[in-house]
Amino acid sequence: MAWTKAKYRIILRPLGLFLVCLAVLSACKVAYSFNGASIDYTKIKTITITDFPIRADYVYAPLATVFNTELQDIFARQTKLNFVNRGGDLEIGGEIVGYRQINQAVKADGFASEVRLEVEVNVRFTNNTAHEKDFERRYTAYRTYEASQPLIDVQDDLIEEMVKDLTEQIFNATVADW
């Protein structure tokens, strides 16, 4: 008989804990979105994204095109907002302020073994329906590569990765309320 009570305790305790957790979770309201955006589409219907010019000391011309296209694409893919040229409910603008290479690791002979490529973007965000959410902020993304590789060979792939990272950071800060 004692063995039977122990057997039931082993089964009933986890089951009881599960039922308590289920009751607590069902009492909570959980809002989930597959894309991470938390936009009230009854108030916010339009977005204006101006092109980000390059204001960095070192200029790689394709960077601006890749960045501007990906920034617009992420909002087009993950929201239902309509794009307008001016005066959107949400406005995003700024400039690419940094594009630089930094030597990271040094070998015994004194030469760099790794180089860090970095992109920095200054973003101005205006929420015309709730100005307390407005901000101006800088975002940075970087990737490292072997110094034995010429920058020209790895630059486009690294920029694609960094731009994806930057646009996700901007998306999350502006409409995902992270």
Q: What is the pLDDT of residues 56-88, one digit of tens each?
A: 999 999 999 999 999 999 999 999 999 999 999
Q: Are the CB atoms for 104 and 117 separated by under 8 Å?
A: no
Instruction: Please report which confidence band the pLDDT of residue 3 belongs to, taking 50, 70 and 90 as the band edges.
Output: low
Question: Rounded to an integer, what distance in angstroms lies between the CA atom of residue 161 and that of residue 97?
Answer: 18
For residue 10, what pLDDT is reported? 58
Whether 7 shows a pLDDT value over 90: the answer reads no
Q: Are the CB atoms for 56 and 98 separated by under 8 Å?
A: yes
> What average pLDDT does this structure show over 27-45?
65
Vertex 24 angle, CA 23 and 30, to 5°: 110
- pTM of the full predicted structure? 0.77
Whether 119 shows a pLDDT value over 80: the answer reads yes
Instruction: Please report which confidence band the pLDDT of residue 104 belongs to, taking 50, 70 and 90 as the band edges.
Output: confident
Which of the pair, 163 or 1, is modelled with greater confidence?
163
Instruction: Please report which confidence band the pLDDT of residue 38 belongs to, taking 50, 70 and 90 as the band edges.
Output: confident
Whether 33 shows a pLDDT value over 90: the answer reads no
Whether 29 shows a pLDDT value over 50: the answer reads no
Share of the chain above pLDDT 90, in %: 71
For residue 46, what pLDDT is reported? 98
Going by C-beta distance under 8 Å and a sequence separation of 6 or more, which residues neighbour residue 127? 44, 89, 90, 133, 134, 174
The chain-wide mean pLDDT, for the chain, equals: 86
